[in-house]
Amino acid sequence: MRRAVSVSLGNPARDKAVEVVFNGVPIRIERIGTGGDIRRAQELFAKLDSQVEALSVGGMDLYVRLEHREYPIYSALKLVKGVKTTPLVDGRALKYVYERRLFELVGDQLGENPHYERAFMPFSIDRLGLAEAVSAVTDELVMGDLLFALGVPWTIKGLARFKRIARILMPFMSFLPLSMILPPGVEGEQRKPKAERLWREADLIVGDMHYIYTYSPTDLQGKTVITNTTTPANIELLRERGVKTVVTTSPRYDGRSFGINTMEAALTAYAGLGRPLTDSELDALIDEIGIKPWVETLNE
């Protein structure tokens, strides 16, 4: 059986392993969290090198893709310096080719020609493919990267403006220490509601479940949420908060949706080429295997 393992800086309480079959090929998908322990993550990457078919980095991107350019995150690259043989991915390629097709892949499960007045993405720099897809179906897209990641009390409206600002900031962000750019929930999930107006005014909320759990208000009545890395408890929490519909960008296996980085590792293991896959190869595998988002109505 081929193994695809994500070593994550996130909370180990969210660890999960499942076995799936892609076109007759059995794949064991595993997520191992280190709770922010950088040395432990480095040790795991070095230990698993050459022992599994694919490795991925969870909780942190190695590079940030902005259109045709990739910006390295140097502090993250130190995590994987011990990987010499096994194909290593961080999800950025699959995010771009897969998430930008999200509304195509969900078909009519969100209704014919879904459209939203305002979408809110608390953090979007690492998933601009998804931001492109969302921008096409909403009147206004509000992005909270400056507020939620850097503590700067500004939001950015519109994808074009966001890209202009990102081009200015990314060369500097490449050199930030991990302590400044780790996502919420690394050491444990604690609620810290923030900027409640932004959540309240949006009818579509898009972002990693860590951000939604940590920063959103308790009332999300009637909203559609597009998210990922969900556990059964996360889905129940969204139900309790009144969310109407939840979309997990990757499929759910045994009640769990894995991060896109983990899914890219699974596809890399399936392909068995001994290297990361190109955008076009990933795009073809999405259709070959039938990878689709999960859509569930939580409240009528």
Q: What is the CATH number of the domain that holds 219?
A: 3.40.50
H-helix or E-strand spanning residue 119:
strand 116-121
H-helix or E-strand spanning residue 288:
helix 279-289
pLDDT of 178 over the 90 cut? no
Greater pLDDT, 9 or 204: 204
Same domain, 102 and 248: yes
- Residue at 300 is within a domain: no
Q: Is 19 helix (H, G, I), strand (E, B) or coil?
A: strand
Helices (H), 108-173: 128-135, 145-150, 159-173
End-to-end CA distance of the chain: 41
Q: What is the pLDDT of residues 206-233, one digit of tens each?
A: 999 989 999 999 999 999 999 998 999 9
- Residue at 192 is within a domain: yes
- Residue at 272 is within a domain: yes
d(CA 243, CA 254): 22
Regarding pTM above 0.85, the answer is yes
pLDDT-derived band of residue 176, with 50, 70 and 90 as boundaries? Answer: confident
| Residues 26-53: b if buried by 16+ CB within 10 A, e if exposed | ebbbbbbbbbbebebbbebbeebbeebb
- Output the pLDDT for position 180: 73
Same domain, 6 and 72: yes
- Output the pLDDT for position 189: 65
Residue 272 DSSP class: T
- Residue at 42 is within a domain: yes
Domain that holds residue 242: 98-252
Residue 99 DSSP class: I
Question: Residue 181, exposed/middle/buried by CB under 10 A (0-12, 13-18, 19+)?
Answer: middle
pLDDT of 112 over the 90 cut? no
Rg, C-alpha atoms of the chain: 18
| Residues 79-99: b if buried by 16+ CB within 10 A, e if exposed | bbeebeebbbbbbbbbbbbbb
Q: What is the pLDDT of residues 20-39, one digit of tens each?
A: 999 999 999 999 999 889 99
pLDDT of 67 over the 90 cut? no
- Output the pLDDT for position 243: 98
Q: pLDDT above 70 covers what percent of the chain? A: 98
A 10 A CB-CB count for 74 gives 13
Helix axes 279-289, 260-271, angle to 10 degrees: 90
- Output the pLDDT for position 186: 62
Which residue matches tokens 């590079």? 63
Average the pLDDT over 134-146 and give the result. 97
How long, in residues, is the chain? 300
Same domain, 102 and 158: yes
Segment among 117-131, 133-147, 182-196 with least mean pLDDT: 182-196
The whole-chain average pLDDT of the chain stands at: 94
What is the number of structural domains in the chain?
2
Same domain, 192 and 60: no
- Output the pLDDT for position 278: 97
Segment among 25-34, 88-97, 146-155, 158-167 with least mean pLDDT: 146-155
Average the pLDDT over 190-207 and give the result. 94
d(CA 30, CA 193): 31
Average the pLDDT over 102-120 and give the result. 94
Q: Is 142 helix (H, G, I), strand (E, B) or coil?
A: strand
- Residue at 298 is within a domain: no
